[in-house]
Structure 1
Amino acid sequence: MLEQLTGHEDPHPIYERLRAHGPLTTDNGMWITTSHTIANKVLRDRRFGVRLADGSSPANGSLLPDSFLELDPPDHTRLRRLAMPAFSPKKIDEYRARVEKVADALLDRDEFDLIADFAAPLPISVISDLLGIPDSDTAEFADYGALVAASFDSGVTPEMANAHDKVLALFDRLIAQRRRTPGDDVISSLVAAEAEQKLTAQEMVGTLVLLLVAGFETTVNLIGNATRALLDHPAQWKLFKANPELAPAVVEETLRWAPPVQLTSRIAHEDVDRIAKDEWITVLIGAANRDPEVYPEAHKFDVMRVHKPEHLAFSSGIHYCLGATLARMEGDVALRALARRMPDLRQTGPIEFRDSVVIRGMRSMPVSRS
């Protein structure tokens, strides 16, 4: 049934059909859960990982170099720890003023595409700054990120392979520059860690590619999904405009109601209840976040909702999204800017949705300030 999700604007009718089979079911030989409780347990349980029980990598046909996202402990722990300082709360607070400035500059227009002209340029500007990527290269990085996201469903295309080669060449150039002249950025800190033999050159590139893609792919869809949800729910939009301090609540409800990442998978490292060693389980984050067992009126978009338990938009356990604090801050700033600068914002044309099972978001949303 999962293959039916491709191209669906709203996957929830399919999720509900799966939910009707019980909290844990099978589809084409793969375990699937729509339950928030089971999903959270699987994501936190160290008996599940992202690799096979013997530590080997499942073939996924990806061009991406291995990063800590595709690794289990202890390598996952070692590499994630090296990247963590760049995403500390103190660092994120330091970036807020820059994000506010970029958001305001991007909204100096009357008619525009919410995704291409606002939701995408904002986070790519921030992650490029964090990584120390020159402004002249940011557009190419944004295109690369979109192609990577598409490859989650369609596999590697010649266009993707070409973009991948260009990005790796750029990272090689930037790494060489930081070896000669270190700076105050993530690449410089990873180059220093490599010199201390805390990671290999290949692991460094894999970490940088992951941070680049994850650093804006979640945020662009968060901003897009939140704006669409608010405009589709005029009472909620009106409430938010009158109370901009609700921005964090809007972000959290969007992450629950329309999470950018709809699913993830884990592999059992030993027999766990009905799941046998080396069997896969797909965690349907989008379904778990609307589990009626834990969220009253689960399908209702309500910015005043009390989020207990926490949604799973950023996963859970050791793979909890490293950039969650950054994404939340960027979403907060972006939504406040829209409400302040464009209180009469409206959609002016048809929306084009991402043709993806994994990622929920839009390719295009034409809007106008009045």
Structure 2
Amino acid sequence: MTLSDARLSTRIAIERAGTWLLRATGDEFIRLSVGAQPDPYPAYARLRARESLYRNKLGAVTATFEHCNLVLRDRRFGVQRTDGRLPRFFDTLAMARGPEVVQSFLELDPPDHTRLRKLSRPAFGPARLDGYRPLIESITHDLLDRATAKDNFDLIADFAGPLPIRVISELLGIPPVDTDRFLGYGRVLAQALDGITSLRLARELRTATDEMYALFRTLMAAKREHPEADVLTQLTEAHDAGELTLPELLATCELLLVAGFETTVNLIGNSTFALLNHPGQWGLLRDDPGLARAAAEETLRYDPPVQQTVRVAHEKVELAGTRIRENELVFVMIGATGRDPAVFANPEVFDITRTPEREHLAFSSGIHYCLGAPLARLEAEIALRALAERLPDLALDGTPRRRPSAGIRGLLRLPVRASHGKPLMVP
């Protein structure tokens, strides 16, 4: 065992002990945050019923739509401390990855956040999205052709997982021959987002990161020789023009890969699970597949992939009558906001015909609003429409398995059956 491994093992052990001690406090937020809950929403309701903002051993917590929205939009809050470091609970992940891996723009505040986000924004603009639809539809139906060759399949492994990784690979400019490798890297990185719980996972993460970055560097060289209309070519040209460093480019590519994979696989999985658990709503979608976009939006309100995030006060702030200290953490319970009865009528009801009173916060708000939100929406819409049109008798076929995460809500396994799948009808 190397010295760095020994230090990391010690850090993991300390975190485990700290988690056990925090659980013993009985604090509602801490119980929610140290492990996945089959149904966190009753606990969210209890948090909303407390003070608009309260403190515990980790920081301040807010679970109402109003105050979560305020924190996310207020420029006096950021994702870094005033010294430029991330909150301490990110230290284990940073130790596992090594000092050569820099923060992506998701983990940066302006001006670096603004500069790096601007370089990636064109790939997700309206003009580009219109051109992505045929590609996404083609990949969607190819995956369904393969999945429906058998009566029973895992919707996550056979459909919801491969779809976004193939789409984001195309957008980045990753050749099809390398897509499976990136799917493997994406799975390891996604597992690490749930927490570094063992030295084995830390080593897998380091290996995946090293191999992924090496492949990105190889692809960059190829893009210089043969530039294409893809994100990696665009970022390579920006790097060569001095607009970002190589570590920043690699971190940006990794972020786009992981974010493009994580948000969409969980949105498709959560949407399908909610629909199949509400047969009346599945029937509405089956009878009118044009409701697919609305079904995805209702899932984003009702059972969003991202359940919580955190902000750091960059100065003294008064929020909901409470004084927040400089560098104090504020935990924003995004998963609680979509069911806030002060904002949404009948919030506990899953209704794909709903006309929402406000836009949900599932993609955050403010300067850190999810850059890939339009793409995730488009992929989910196409996927749900295809399921309704081609698999009208889709049903659950076993016990789903949830991912062991409090911050990201999704499924690792969703067994389904569809005995009368319909082929794609080409006009």
- Does the TM-score normalized on the shorter chain lie above 0.5? yes
SS of residue matched to 1:265: strand
Structure 2 Cα separation of the partners of residues 18 and 149 of structure 1: 28
Q: Deviations 1:113-138 (Å, cap 9, x if unpaired)?
A: 10000001111110000011122222
Find the aligned partners of 2:193 and 2:166 in 1 and give their Cα distance. Answer: 23
The aligned runs of 1:43-82 (5 Å cut-off) are 43-59=72-88, 60=90, 61-62=92-93, 63=97, 65-82=102-119
Q: CA 1:9–1:140 in 2, change beyond 3 Å: closer, same or farther?
A: farther
Letter in 1 for 2:105: F
2:357 maps to 308
Partner-residue secondary structure (3-state), 1:107: helix
Identity level (%): 52
Question: Using the alignment, how far apart are the partners of 2:183 and 2:337 within structure 1?
Answer: 30
- Is 1:4 the counterpart of 2:41? The answer is no
1:25 maps to which of 51, 54, 68: 54
Larger mean Cα displacement after TM superposition, 354-363 or 51-60: 51-60
Matched, 1:345 2:394: yes
Picking from 158, 179, 191, the partner of 1:117 is 158
Give the CA deviation at 1:289: 1.4
Note if 1:266 corresponds to 2:291. no
Q: Please tell me whether residue 163 in structure 1 is matched to residue 208 in structure 2.
A: yes
Aligned with 1:140 (options 177, 181, 197) = 181
Distance 2:139 2:152 in 1: 18
Q: What is the Cα deviation at residue 57 of structure 1?
A: 3.6
CA shift, 1:3, in A, is 4.0
Q: Deviations over 1:137-177 (max 9, x none)?
A: 22232232232222233226222222122111111211222
Do 1:149 and 1:359's aligned partners in 2 also have CA atoms closer than 8 Å? no
What secondary structure is seen at the aligned counterpart in 2 of 1:22? coil
Corresponding position of 1:92: 129
TM-score (norm 1): 0.97
- Gaps spanning 5+ residues in structure 1: where? none
Deviation at 1:4, TM superposition (A): 2.3
Provide Cα deviations, 1:168-224, integer angstroms capped at 9, x if missing partner: 111121122223332221111011111211111111111100000001110000000
| Secondary structure, aligned partner of 1:154 | coil
Partner of 1:240: 285
Q: Is 2:412 aligned against 1:363?
A: yes
Q: Deviations over 1:291-332 (max 9, x none)?
A: 111111111111111222110010000010000000000000
- Greater length-normalized contact order (CA 8 Å, ≥ 6 residues apart): 1
Q: Which amino acid in structure 1 is aligned with residue 393 of structure 2?
A: D
- Rounded to whole Å, the distance in 2 between the matches of 1:262 and 1:131 is 27
Higher alpha-carbon deviation: 247-256 or 179-188: 179-188
Residue equivalent to 2:25 = none
Q: How far, CA to CA, are the matches of 2:220 and 2:102 in structure 1?
A: 16
Structure possessing the higher radius of gyration over alpha carbons? 2
Amino acid at match of 2:29: L
The residue aligned with 2:229 is: 184
Matches of 1:282 and 1:150, distance apart in 2: 22
SS class of match (2:153): strand
RMSD: 1.4
Distance (Å, rounded) in 1 between the aligned partners of 2:187 and 2:400: 17
Aligned to 1:131: 172
Q: Distance in 1 between matches of 2:182 and 2:338?
A: 30
Runs of 4+ in 1 over 6 A off after TM superposition: none
| TM-score relative to the length of structure 2 | 0.84
Flag structure 2 segments of 5+ consecutive residues without an equivalent: 1-27, 420-427
Q: State the match for 2:379 in structure 1.
A: 330
- Summarize deviations over 1:209-261 as a string: whole Å, max 9, x none: 00000011100000000001111001111111111111111110001111111
Q: Which residue of 2 aligns with 1:276?
A: 325
Residues 216-235 of structure 1 mapped to structure 2, 5 A cutoff: 216-235=261-280
Cα distance in structure 2, aligned partners of 1:20 and 1:292: 11
